[in-house]
Amino acid sequence: MSRNAESTAFRSALEVIRAVEPRVADAIGAELTDQRESLKLIASENYASPATLLAMGNWFSDKYAEGTVGRRFYAGCQNVDTVEALAAEHARELFGAAHAYVQPHSGIDANLVAFWAVLADRVESPALKKAQVRQVNDLTEADWFALRRELGNQRMLGMSLDAGGHLTHGFRPNISGKMFDQRSYGTDPATGLIDYDRVAEAAREFKPLILVGGYSAYPRKVNFRILREIADSVGATFMVDMAHFAGLVAGKVFTGDFDPVPHAHIVTTTTHKSLRGPRGGMVLCQPELADQVDRGCPMVLGGPLPHVMAAKAVALAEARRPDFADYAQRIVDNAQALAEGLLRRGAKLVTGGTDNHLVLIDVSGYGLTGRQAEQALLDSGIVTNRNSVPQDPNGAWYTSGIRIGTPALTTRGLGIAEMDQTAELIHTVLAQTTAGANADGTPSKAKYTLDPDLADKIARQATDLLAPHPLYPAIDLS
């Protein structure tokens, strides 16, 4: 696509929107401006290509397409079949997977599809066998009661939330924690690293139906071969949630024992984050689970979103290009440079560094909570998110950590030298921020003090750092 074509496409789209609701057009333009001017360090965010963005704004948005390719409950889905089949083909080839299901709307949806596929495959009961037949009206109340008991009493073992796991890995606030009897494995208190012997011990004691690998805030590689061996030793299905690091798998930065696809029975992911696609989810699995996974709609999902599947096909095609592997390696190189820059300035990092795309700063060393640090950085033009650290005394709301990641800045073209400058900006803000107090004089976990002039200065420096690396340089909305 030519530079002029990109500008014309987005300018024209905003003109059409503005004619109906100008405030929405203004908000879209403002979001582009904000993203251009801010250091985006949220580990779960990235910038999709113009082609991916444009693939979502079209007539596919108007289609209902329940079912799967060639087996729809609505007529007229031949074009939806085309884009869904293309997205699945690209996913299989990119990850070396036997089967790919590209309908999930999000990572949570992908995990729910995986959970129910495993349950339906593994739990044997007369009620479940009846439920797998389409004539569900034949089920009695007693059948439904037995089915709920069978499916609701299974066990899941996953990484604890404060060690870097995710809410969807069996925690009570999420539906997964209501579906499963859940237990967590943590990390070594001294190193912050997974202790595989302790995971094996927990699996032998708990005997889970599903062992979950993967994370949202663990800054190291995971040995999926060992976790599969642990799962096999207790007869568990091994599931990996690679939502955060899928781009590193796609780019062949994580291979061998650190590539989950050859080792897991079932793998879930989002299609944004380090994969740099549209917001959505995906499930990869071994052949024996394919039929159950393909029942994700209507088992868990509402109708698939054909316009997003079209964008997934575009993004996955982009990820199959040779330059994506270079991009994935630069993500890790930048994260390690950012970590080293922070360590040189005295920051405390969980596990002492990183092997992947993210860095977890324990901001208690600056006398702050995660919430205070997050807001102070945002005041200074640096966008991050607060996150728990292992054995976090401040809980999941205030936290003691800040999670930062390099996928987005790497997309913009920033490199190792800019990561050191970024570390300097982050350290300066945190070192100059002081915790505040409540009205009664007690320490506050939310209030803080930061000189506004310093915040403005850092924000200008952040903008200057980004200036040589413009975001969507071909797009001019003026």
Characterize the bridge pairing of strands 281-285 and 237-241.
unpaired
Cβ atoms 386, 371 nearer than 8 A: yes
Residue 79, CA distances (Å) to 297, 305, 310 in order: 18, 13, 10
Q: Distances in Å between the alpha carbon of 227 and those of 236, 249, 289, 306? A: 10, 17, 19, 35
Q: What gap in Å lies between CA 348 and CA 346, rounded to an integer?
A: 7
Give the whole-angstrom CA distance, residue 220 versus residue 354. 5
By CB atoms closer than 10 A (0-12, 13-18, 19+), residue 133 is exposed
Instruction: Report, as residue numbers or ranges, the catalytic residues.
Output: 64, 66, 241, 270, 273, 279
| Residue 3 CA neighbour count, 13 Å, CB half | 5
Q: Of 148, 145, 167, 150, nearest to 158 (Cα)?
A: 167
Q: Where is 312: in which H helix or E strand? A: helix 306-319
CA distance 325 to 319: 8
Report the largest interatomic distance among the alpha carbons of the chain, rounded to a whole angstrom.
70
103 and 81 Cβ atoms separated by less than 8 Å: no
Which structure tokens are listed for 217? 């805030």
| DSSP three-state, residue 324 | helix
441's CB contacts (< 8 A; 6+ apart) are: none
Cβ neighbourhood burial of 389 (10 Å; 0-12, 13-18, 19+): buried
The CA distances from residue 475 to 2, 29, 40, in Å, are 10, 11, 19
